[in-house]
A = this chain, B = another copy of it.
Amino acid sequence: MTSVSARVPARQQSIRASNLALAYRLVLDAPTPVSRAALAAATGMTRATAGALADALLAAGLVEEVAPPPASTAGRPATGLVPASAGWVGLGLEVNVDHLAACVVDLTGAVRHEVTLDGDQRGRKPGPVLADLAELANRVTEDLAAPSSPEAGPGTGLRIAGAAVAVPGLVRANGGRVLRAPNLGWQDVDVLAELTPRLPETPALAAVGNEADYAALAELAADRGLRDFLYVSGEIGVGAGIVFDRRLFTGSRGWAGEIGHVTVEPGGDACRCGARGCLETVAGLDALRAPAPDAASRAGRGLGRAIAAAVNLYDLDTVVLGGAYAQRADLEEFVRAALTEHVVSARWAPVAVRRSRLGGTAAAVGAATSVVHRIHADPAAWEARD
């Protein structure tokens, strides 16, 4: 998920690909339909060029034309362009401690279909879990193929562009291999290899990623105002996704955001990881549910210190609390207080804190969104595939 400056020269088609992505980005980000002329004006391209790129996006099925609004000014009315609501969609899958989920997100970012299967996955072997997940995924793709399914909505003909799988654990970047998912009891599981043969309807393009990272992407898609933020997911384990410049920051190996093992109580309780005083030992669900009377304040303060460390180190302006934290207004207050106290830049630029408004399947939605993002980022690659 990290851009690597390729040692490949730019050719004429690179500039076209770049401009096509630029034009698409404007259509995607605009709150209202965009005309070809507006595209040209916003970018500095000529209307001729903007028109040609718009036609290419139309031909690829990535945008749609909408009827011009009632003309209020002189001149020929503009035909608007909006992201296509039919055509390519992303498939998002999620393995979590207490449920499995599959969902489909279209190019507009809308969730078109979602299926969850509740059930404790702890202690189950990866094989059966992934078999269940594949069945869920195939049910979703079959629903999409059904001629007049209610989920498909007005624009039928949704085609899966690719899939991504969210897992609560450490994933090797570019590998599709889960190194360690302690709360599932998994160790070194090749999710891609297990899953791919069981998903006949889904093209090869697939990725495996951390649950918190994908949930952060879902949050980004849901709130246009977000740009640089920390998403903290509180479950049995505590993970974080960092979004910088509207892109996921996963580190070179995909292991960034391991906030759960930041030390918040030196010499504190022993953690599963072998160290002492990790955030997880005071603010993981097991600790939060403990009968100790000060569990919540202890968790809140620890969480606040860890988040303040992340904000100090990354220079972020917003923190979103997700997972189980989304229900805990008390923790939010502790975090807000800790940021005011510990973040150096807070006096110039206060850090916003809020709880996620997304449901329990944010990671699945984010995984699907990540697939859609690939199309958004490089529409030229999707021109021929129709």
Contact = CB atoms under 8 A, between A and B. Distances in A.
Interface string A41-67: 011110001000000000000000000
A123 interface: no
A148 B9 CA distance: 41
A219 B97 CA distance: 43
Given A2-B245, A265-B266, A253 B9 contact: no
Contacts of A245: 2, 4-5, 252
Contacts of A254: 315
Given A19-B9, A263-B308, A251 B342 contact: no
A341 interface: yes
Contacts of A26: 7
Nearest to A341: B275
Nearest to A253: B315
A163 interface: no
How many copies of this kind of chain does the complex include? Answer: 2
A263 B45 CA distance: 50
B42 A256 contact: no
A8 B252 contact: no
Contacts of A82: none
Interface string A236-262: 000010101100001111111111111
A252 B342 CA distance: 19
Nearest to A259: B313
A377 to B, nearest CB: 10
A206 B37 CA distance: 38
A36 interface: no
CB-CB nearest 10 A-B residue pairs: A251-B315, A10-B15, A258-B312, A256-B315, A255-B315, A10-B18, A262-B309, A263-B305, A9-B45, A255-B345
Interface of A: 2, 4-5, 7-12, 14-15, 18-19, 22, 26, 42-45, 49, 170, 179, 227-228, 240, 242, 244-245, 250-266, 273-275, 278, 301, 305-306, 308-310, 312-317, 341-345, 348-349
